[in-house]
Structures are given as C-alpha cells and as structure tokens.
C-alpha cells in the first residue's frame, strides 16, 4: 500500500468537496443552515431561554396512606420546566392533547404509591417490588416535547425513589433516562441528533461521486493504474471521515452559537467527534450500495434517500416524534446509536466509560465497518466496465 496514492486521492476528494458548489452546499452549508433554522425555531437563540412543557395528569393513585403520586407531581413542578394540569379522566385529557393544549398526558396508575413503598422497603430485592407502569401519551406534533418530556419524567421518578443511575426500578416509563434535572433550553434535546444528521447526507455525496466517476470513465481510468482497491477505498474513507469531522465542528459551532453548552469535559467531546467520524464510515458503505444499484448520478441522488431517510427519521432528533414501532425500527440503523450515545454524553452526563456509552460505541463501530464491507463487496462484484 503506497501512501503517495492514498494522499493524492484523498487530496483530490477534498478539493472536489471544496470546489464543486453543489457538493459544498450539501456537505457543509446545508447542515449549518439547517441547524441554524431548526435551532432558532425550536431551541431559542441566545441560550438562556427555557421552555415549559404542559403535561396533563390523570392521577389514579388514591386511597394509600403514602401519597407518592403527589410527591412525584410536586417534584415535576419543581423542575420549573413542567406545568402540570390535572384531569379527572383519560378521555378529557386525551381531548386536550389532541387539540394541542397539553404536550403529553401521563396516567399515574392506582398502585403507584404501593410500588414506591415496596421499593423503599426492599430496594435491593426486585422480587419484592410491586411494579407499575406509567402510561405516557405524547403530542406527535411536538418534536421537542417528545424528545424532552420522557427523560424528565423518568429522571424525576428516579429522584423521588432515591435511586442511583445503575439500579433497576419498579416504575416503567417507555423512555428511560437518567439525566440530572435542570432547566434546559429545548435546543439541548435536539443538538445530539443534529451532529448525527449532518453526516447522513454523505450517503448521497458518496453515491453521486462513485456513479459520476463510473459514468465519465474516471473509475475505469483509475483502475487501469497500479492503484489497488485497498488504496482507493482507504483514500475514500479518510476523505469522508475528514469531511464528517469538519461537519461536526461546524454543527457544534452553530449549536454553540445558538446556546448549546453541554457541561462535559474534553474527553466527551473527543468521543463525540470520534463517534461521528466512525458513523461516516457507514455512510460511505451505504453510498457504495447506492452506487451499485444506480445507473446514473441522477438515479444515485434519488436512490440514496432509501438510506438517508431511515437514518434521518429513525436515528436523529426526528425519530422521537414517530410511532413506537418506528422507534423500535430505529434500533436497526447506526444513526440511532450515535444519537443515543451523544445524548448520553451531552444530556445525561454519562461518563465516557459507562456501559451505555461503550455499548453504543461498539454497536456503531461494528455496524459501520460491516456496512462499509458490504458496500465494498457489492460495488466490486457488480462493477462493470
């Protein structure tokens, strides 16, 4: 393997990114503009603004000597970002949710207090617990609310139970989160997904690049030289990882300008940028798969959305507003794990060596390398002169 060839091809790819207006726009300007527009619309420019979420509560937890549900609701109100509206029945609450008067409806089950008592009596013996499930209905039209409300509720539950982050809980809420309660700008909740979002459009760029090179004979021309497939693919991976790094830096600068200030150390940033770079490898793989099935650069642009859309909708900040089924499907796309890891790092305050982060890191690494390998294999197999 000759570094001279890899360096020359990498330099060429980076020049293409900078010099071709369409590529420059799609790779760098579009994510930055999108982050600004989305962040300004949903996040509150300036960083000091906080939002308040309106939650309808149907409290069915009556008749117990320990009124744990009231303690829970008081704790929620004390966060200063939750405004609780009480409802006598679920139907009325659901009506208000449908009309957008509240952003979520929470049903506290009748056994809630008993559940807390059972937990406090035997915190280390789950067999003794009385498990309860809090039903949470979210406003699917409120992207930010769906991202923000479940972790706040879960965290508050964790706090009133006196649990730490690693222990199991008798309370079930669909979205588990162990964040520290704080008043956060809405931007904070969507910023991790924005980092992932920017890189996804590399799929389209890679697919177009390979298809164009095939169409205009450049791929044939390079294959005639002594350049090996390994040298060529190494240059592509280095190029797109570099581009992903620049994208992440630009997105971070934009979110920072909009007020995103995660309270984390340098190591968390290093890990976050590393994750985004590794994630870009899967986008090269998906781009190659797209190039394999595309007859022209135009077709590649369209077909790339077969991979762009699932990654975008199931794995970034958009995903939380989708159905539970779609959220389960999200677990089959790498972007979900990148966003999840970044959320854990930036919002939940998870340590970089925590099991959750390490698991996401392993899943992202293995899946991305696998997708790249599949992309290379398919492209090589079906490449025709």
Partner 1 sequence: MNEHSVTIEHLGKKYQDVTALDDLTLKVAKGELFGLLGPNGAGKTTTINILCGLVKPTTGTGNVCGYDVVKESGQVKDLISVCIQETAIYPFLTGAENVELFGNLYAMDKAELKARRNMLLAKMGLAEDANRRAGKYSGGMKRRLSLILALINNPQIAFLDEPTVVMDPQSRHAVWDFLKEMKKEEKTIILTTHQMDEAEELCDRVGIIDHGKLIALGTPKELIAENQVNNLEEVFLKMTGRNIREEA
Q: Which residues bind partner 1 (CB under 8 A)?
A: 2, 4-5, 7-9, 11-12, 15-16, 19-20, 216-218, 220-227, 385
The answer to whether 108 and 57 are in contact (CB under 8 A) is yes
Between CA 18 and CA 83 the distance in angstroms is: 48
Q: Is the Cβ of residue 125 or residue 216 nearer to partner 1 in the bound state?
A: 216
Between CA 121 and CA 286 the distance in angstroms is: 52
User: Min. distance of Cβ 331 from partner 1 in angstroms?
Assistant: 39
Q: Is the Cβ of residue 17 or residue 311 nearer to partner 1 in the bound state?
A: 17
What tokens were used for 349? 């305050």
Q: Is the Cβ of residue 191 or residue 243 nearer to partner 1 in the bound state?
A: 243
> In 3-state terms, the chain is what percent helix, strand and coil (to 5)?
65, 5, 25
Phi and psi at residue 171, to the nearest 5°? -95, 130
User: Min. distance of Cβ 233 from partner 1 in angstroms?
Assistant: 14
The answer to whether 297 and 327 are in contact (CB under 8 A) is no
Q: Is the Cβ of residue 217 or residue 265 nearer to partner 1 in the bound state?
A: 217
User: Min. distance of Cβ 12 from partner 1 in angstroms?
Assistant: 5
User: Min. distance of Cβ 33 from partner 1 in angstroms?
Assistant: 23
- The DSSP line for 63-78 is S-SS-HHHHHHHHHHH
User: Min. distance of Cβ 286 from partner 1 in angstroms?
Assistant: 24
User: In the 3-class helix/strand/coil scheme, how is 251-280 assigned residue by residue?
Assistant: HHHHHHHHCCCCCCCHHHHHHHHHHHHHHH
User: Min. distance of Cβ 218 from partner 1 in angstroms?
Assistant: 5
Torsion over CA: 123, 127, 132, 136 (sign): positive
Phi and psi at residue 82, to the nearest 5°? -120, 125
Residue 206, number of CB atoms within 10 A of its CB: 28
The answer to whether 279 and 196 are in contact (CB under 8 A) is yes
Q: Is the Cβ of residue 3 or residue 253 nearer to partner 1 in the bound state?
A: 3
User: Min. distance of Cβ 220 from partner 1 in angstroms?
Assistant: 6
Q: Is the Cβ of residue 5 or residue 348 nearer to partner 1 in the bound state?
A: 5
Phi and psi at residue 86, to the nearest 5°? -90, 140
User: Min. distance of Cβ 78 from partner 1 in angstroms?
Assistant: 58
Between CA 27 and CA 4 the distance in angstroms is: 26
Using CB atoms within 10 Å of the CB of residue 312, give its burial: 0 to 12 exposed, 13 to 18 middle, 19+ buried: buried
User: Min. distance of Cβ 10 from partner 1 in angstroms?
Assistant: 11
Q: Which residues partner with 171 through β-bridges? A: 132
Q: Is the Cβ of residue 206 or residue 281 nearer to partner 1 in the bound state?
A: 206
Q: Is the Cβ of residue 62 or residue 295 nearer to partner 1 in the bound state?
A: 295
Q: Is the Cβ of residue 29 or residue 122 nearer to partner 1 in the bound state?
A: 29
């Amino acid at each position: 393997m000759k570094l001279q060839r890899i360096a020359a091809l990498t330099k060429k790819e980076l020049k293409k990114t900078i010099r071709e207006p369409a590529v420059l726009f799609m790779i760098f300007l579009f994510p930055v503009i999108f982050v600004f527009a989305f962040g300004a619309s949903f996040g509150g420019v300036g960083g000091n603004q906080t939002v308040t979420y309106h939650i309808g509560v149907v409290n069915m937890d009556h008749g117990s000597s320990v009124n744990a549900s009231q303690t829970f609701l008081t704790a929620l109100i004390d966060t200063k970002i939750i405004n609780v509206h009480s409802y006598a029945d679920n139907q009325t609450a659901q009506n208000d949710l449908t009309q957008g008067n509240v952003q979520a409806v929470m049903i506290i089950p009748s056994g809630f207090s008993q559940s807390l008592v059972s937990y406090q009596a035997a915190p280390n013996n789950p067999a003794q617990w009385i498990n309860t499930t809090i039903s949470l209905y979210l406003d699917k039209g409120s992207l930010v609310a769906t991202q923000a409300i479940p972790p706040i509720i879960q965290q508050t539950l964790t706090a009133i139970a006196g649990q730490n982050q690693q222990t199991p809980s008798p309370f079930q809420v669909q979205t588990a989160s162990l964040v520290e309660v704080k008043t956060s700008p809405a931007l904070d909740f969507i910023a991790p997904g924005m980092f992932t979002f920017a890189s996804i459009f590399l799929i389209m760029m890679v697919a177009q690049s390979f298809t164009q090179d095939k169409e205009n004979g450049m791929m044939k021309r390079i294959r005639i030289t002594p350049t090996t497939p390994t040298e060529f693919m190494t240059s592509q991976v280095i190029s797109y990882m570099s581009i992903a790094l620049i994208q992440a830096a630009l997105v971070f600068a934009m979110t920072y300008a909009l007020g995103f200030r995660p309270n984390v150390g340098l190591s968390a940033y290093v890990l976050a940028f590393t994750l985004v770079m590794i994630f870009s490898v899967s986008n090269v793989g998906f781009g190659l798969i797209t190039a394999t099935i595309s007859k022209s650069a135009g077709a590649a642009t369209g077909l790339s959305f077969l991979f762009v859309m699932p990654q975008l909708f199931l794995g970034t900040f958009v995903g939380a507003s989708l159905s539970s089924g779609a959220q389960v499907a999200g677990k089959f796309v790498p972007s979900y794990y990148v966003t999840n890891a970044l959320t854990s790092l930036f919002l939940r305050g998870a340590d970089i060596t925590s099991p959750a982060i390490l698991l996401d890191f392993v899943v992202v690494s293995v899946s991305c390398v696998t997708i790249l390998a599949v992309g290379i294999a398919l492209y090589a197999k079906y490449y025709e002169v």
